[in-house]
C-alpha cells in the first residue's frame, strides 16, 4: 500500500487517491453484516427517558460561568479570527493568504468534530453573537438590549426552514463559484453573515436569528442530538417552586435564555446554544452542563418535527453532493450534459444540485412507502414514517461529514502553518515558517482507515436508532420489524454510496 497516492493535475489541482477496492468491499460487507445483527438481535425495548450523566459544572467552572464578562471572554478569540479573516480576505494577496485556509480547512472542517464532542460549543464562542451583543447592549459585560427594536419574529418563519434555505444557498455559492479558493469572496460571506446577524439583533427580540435562521446554529443543532454534552436542570422539582423564572425572564445578573427556551422543559440539544445565561441567572444553582452517552437525545426521541426531518435529509444530501463534486465523475457528467443540452455552467450546476437534493427524499420516501405497505396500512402513515425515521439518518450524515471533513483537515490543515508567518500573503516571514514545507498531519492510509471507520460507526448508530424509533411508532413488534427492513435497506444503499465516494480520487479544497 503506497503512502503517497496524491498528485497534482495539469491544472494544478491537488488530488487525493480514494480507498482501495478491497477496503471498500470489506467496509460494505461489514455494514451489511452489522445491519442484520442489529435488527435480528433480541432485546428489550427501553422506554425509559432517563440516563446516567456526569456533571461538568464544578464549583470553579460554575463561578466562571456566573461572571458577567464570561460570554465576551469566550468569544474574544473567535472575534479576533473573524477580524483577521475579513482583513486578510479583503486587503491581502488574492492569489493566496490565510483567510481561505483558516475558514474552510480549519474552522468549517473542524466544526463538525467540535459538534460531535462538545455539541453547540461553537455557539458559545460565536463571534457574530458577540458582535451583536456589543452593538445592542453597548457594554462589554451586560447583554441587556439598550438600542434597537424588539419585534416578534414572523410566525410563518418560526422553524428551521430559514436556516435550511441559507445553508442551501451557501452550498450553491461555495461549490458553484469557487469561494473556497477566493479570499475576497470568503471575507464577503463573513461580512454578509455579520450584516444579517446585526440587522436581526437590532430589529427582533432576543436572539431570534440564532433560534430560527442561523445556518451554523441549526446544522449544529441537528447534529448536536448526537453530542455527549448537554445543558439541563438538575431537578425539575426545584424549578417547579421557582417563582421568578429568572432563567427565562432574566435578572440583574443576566438576560435569561435568549432562545425562548424554558430550561426546566429542555430535553434535547437542538436549540440550546450553551450561552450560560440560564446558569448565570438561576438563583438556585439548579442548571448544569453534563456529559452523557453519545446519541442520548436520538435514542430517547419520541416527538418528531417536519422541519427538522427535512433538514436531516438535506444535510445527508448536501454532504454527499459536496463529495460528489470533488470526484472525476462530476466533471465527466457535466461535460456530457453540457454537450448534449448546451446549458451554461451555472445553470447545469444548479440543476444537478436540485436533482441530488431531491433524490434522497425520493429514495427514503419510497422506503417509507414500502414500510407502510408492510405494516398492512396500520398507523402511522407514510409521511409519519418518513418524518420519524429521518432522525435515524442524522448519525449517518454526521459521520460521513466527519469522514469528508477529516480528509480535508488531515491532508490540508498543514497549509495554515506558512500563512501564520505571512497572513496577508505579502511575503512576510514573521515566525520563520513562511518558506517551510510541511507534511500532512496523517498518512493517507491512516486517513482511509478513519474514513471507513467513521462511515461504519455512523451506519451502526443509524440502524440502532431506526430500531428504537420503529419500536415507538408501531405498537406491534412484528409490524415494527417488517416496516424496519426497507428503511434499513435504503440506509445500506446510502452508506454504500458513501463508501463509493471515498473510494474515488478527490480534488482537494485548496490548490495553493
Tell me: the pLDDT tens digits for 234-276? 999 999 999 889 999 998 888 999 999 999 999 999 999 999 9
Contact 119, 101 (CB under 8 A): no
Question: How many domains are contained in the chain?
Answer: 2
Residues 194 and 64 in one domain: yes
Long-range contact set of residues 247-252: C-beta below 8 Å, sequence gap at least 24: 247/277, 247/278, 247/281, 247/282, 247/287, 248/278, 250/144, 250/277, 250/281, 251/281, 251/283
pLDDT of residue 512 exceeding 90: no
The pLDDT value recorded for residue 375 is 83
In a domain, 390, yes or no: yes
364: which 3 cell numbers?
A: 427514503
In a domain, 96, yes or no: no
The pLDDT value recorded for residue 48 is 61
Residues 324 and 470 in one domain: yes
pLDDT of residue 378 exceeding 90: no
In a domain, 331, yes or no: yes
- Percentage of the chain lying above the pLDDT 70 cut: 94
The pLDDT value recorded for residue 15 is 77
pLDDT of residue 13 exceeding 60: no
pLDDT tens digits, one per residue of 388-445: 999 999 999 999 999 999 999 999 999 999 999 999 999 999 999 999 989 999 999 9
Residues 284 and 332 in one domain: no
Q: Where are the alpha helices (DSSP H) in 413-443?
A: 416-421
Residues 409 and 367 in one domain: yes
Residues 144 and 219 in one domain: yes
Average pLDDT over residues 114-141: 96
In a domain, 99, yes or no: no
Calculate the alpha carbon distances from 58 to 185, 285, 289, 332 in Å: 43, 11, 9, 56
Residues 287 and 332 in one domain: no
pLDDT tens digits, one per residue of 462-502: 999 999 999 899 888 888 898 899 999 999 999 999 999 99
pLDDT band at 169 (very low <50, low <70, confident <90, very high): very high
Contact 139, 254 (CB under 8 A): no
Residues 417 and 287 in one domain: no
Residues 149 and 242 in one domain: yes
Domain boundary among 291, 319, 334: 291
The pLDDT value recorded for residue 365 is 95
In a domain, 33, yes or no: yes
The pLDDT value recorded for residue 42 is 59
Residues 356 and 376 in one domain: yes
In a domain, 183, yes or no: yes
The pLDDT value recorded for residue 453 is 97
- Range with lowest mean pLDDT among 153-157, 372-376, 449-453, 488-492: 372-376
Contact 256, 236 (CB under 8 A): no
In a domain, 238, yes or no: yes
Residues 337 and 265 in one domain: no
Residues 341 and 417 in one domain: yes
State how far the Cα of 87 lies from the Cα of 109, in Å rounded to an integer.
Answer: 21
The pLDDT value recorded for residue 235 is 93
State how far the Cα of 81 lies from the Cα of 77, in Å rounded to an integer.
Answer: 6
Q: What is the mean pLDDT of the chain?
A: 92
Sequential DSSP letters for 252-275:
TTB---TTS--GGG---SSS----
pLDDT band at 10 (very low <50, low <70, confident <90, very high): very low
In a domain, 297, yes or no: no
pLDDT of residue 45 exceeding 90: no
Residues 212 and 189 in one domain: yes
Does this model's pTM top 0.85?
Answer: yes
Residue 433 structural domain: 10-44+307-512
The pLDDT value recorded for residue 3 is 43
Amino acid at each position: 500500500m503506497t503512502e503517497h497516492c496524491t498528485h497534482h493535475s495539469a491544472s494544478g489541482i491537488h488530488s487525493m487517491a480514494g480507498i482501495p477496492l478491497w477496503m471498500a468491499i470489506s467496509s460494505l460487507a461489514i455494514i451489511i453484516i452489522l445491519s442484520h445483527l442489529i435488527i435480528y438481535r433480541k432485546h428489550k425495548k427501553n422506554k425509559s427517558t432517563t440516563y446516567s450523566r456526569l456533571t461538568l459544572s464544578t464549583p470553579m467552572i460554575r463561578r466562571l460561568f456566573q461572571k458577567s464578562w464570561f460570554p465576551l471572554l469566550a468569544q474574544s478569540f473567535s472575534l479576533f479570527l473573524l477580524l483577521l479573516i475579513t482583513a486578510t480576505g479583503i486587503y491581502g494577496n488574492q492569489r493566496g493568504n490565510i483567510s481561505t485556509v483558516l475558514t474552510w480547512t480549519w474552522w468549517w472542517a473542524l466544526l463538525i468534530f467540535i459538534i460531535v464532542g462538545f455539541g453547540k460549543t461553537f455557539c458559545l464562542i460565536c463571534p457574530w453573537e458577540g458582535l451583536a451583543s456589543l452593538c445592542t447592549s453597548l457594554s462589554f459585560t451586560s447583554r441587556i438590549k439598550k438600542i434597537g427594536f424588539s419585534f416578534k419574529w414572523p410566525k410563518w418563519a418560526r422553524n428551521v426552514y430559514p436556516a435550511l434555505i441559507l445553508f442551501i444557498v451557501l452550498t450553491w455559492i461555495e461549490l458553484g463559484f469557487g469561494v473556497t479558493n477566493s479570499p475576497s469572496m470568503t471575507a464577503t460571506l463573513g461580512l454578509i453573515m455579520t450584516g444579517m446577524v446585526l440587522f436581526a439583533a437590532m430589529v427582533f427580540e432576543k436572539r431570534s436569528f440564532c433560534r430560527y435562521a442561523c445556518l451554523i446554529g441549526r446544522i449544529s443543532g441537528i447534529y448536536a442530538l448526537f453530542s455527549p454534552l448537554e445543558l439541563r436542570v438538575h431537578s425539575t422539582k426545584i424549578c417547579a417552586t421557582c417563582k421568578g423564572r429568572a432563567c427565562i425572564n432574566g435578572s440583574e445578573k443576566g438576560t435569561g435564555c435568549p432562545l425562548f427556551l424554558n430550561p426546566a422543559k429542555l430535553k434535547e440539544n437542538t436549540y440550546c446554544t450553551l450561552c450560560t445565561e440560564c446558569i448565570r441567572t438561576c438563583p438556585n444553582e439548579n442548571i448544569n452542563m453534563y456529559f452523557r452517552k453519545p446519541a442520548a437525545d436520538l435514542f430517547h426521541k419520541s416527538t418528531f418535527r417536519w422541519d427538522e426531518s427535512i433538514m436531516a435529509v438535506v444535510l445527508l444530501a448536501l454532504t454527499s453532493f459536496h463529495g460528489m463534486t470533488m470526484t472525476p465523475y462530476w466533471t465527466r457528467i457535466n461535460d456530457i450534459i453540457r454537450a448534449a443540452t448546451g446549458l451554461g455552467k451555472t445553470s447545469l450546476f444548479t440543476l444537478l444540485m436540485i436533482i441530488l437534493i431531491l433524490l434522497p427524499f425520493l429514495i427514503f420516501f419510497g422506503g417509507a412507502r414500502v414500510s407502510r405497505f408492510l405494516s398492512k396500512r396500520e398507523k402511522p402513515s407514510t409521511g409519519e414514517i418518513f418524518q420519524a425515521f429521518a432522525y435515524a439518518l442524522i448519525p449517518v450524515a454526521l459521520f460521513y461529514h466527519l469522514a469528508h471533513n477529516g480528509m480535508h483537515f488531515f491532508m490540508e490543515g498543514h497549509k495554515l502553518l506558512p500563512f501564520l508567518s505571512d497572513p496577508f500573503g505579502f511575503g512576510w516571514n514573521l515566525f520563520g515558517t513562511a518558506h517551510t514545507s510541511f507534511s500532512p498531519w496523517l498518512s493517507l492510509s491512516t486517513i482511509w482507515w478513519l474514513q471507513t471507520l467513521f462511515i461504519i460507526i455512523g451506519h451502526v448508530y443509524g440502524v440502532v436508532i431506526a430500531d428504537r424509533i420503529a419500536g415507538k411508532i408501531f405498537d406491534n413488534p412484528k409490524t415494527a420489524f417488517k416496516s424496519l427492513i426497507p428503511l434499513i435497506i435504503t440506509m445500506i444503499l446510502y452508506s454504500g454510496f458513501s463508501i463509493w465516494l471515498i473510494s474515488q480520487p478527490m480534488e482537494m479544497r485548496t490548490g495553493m
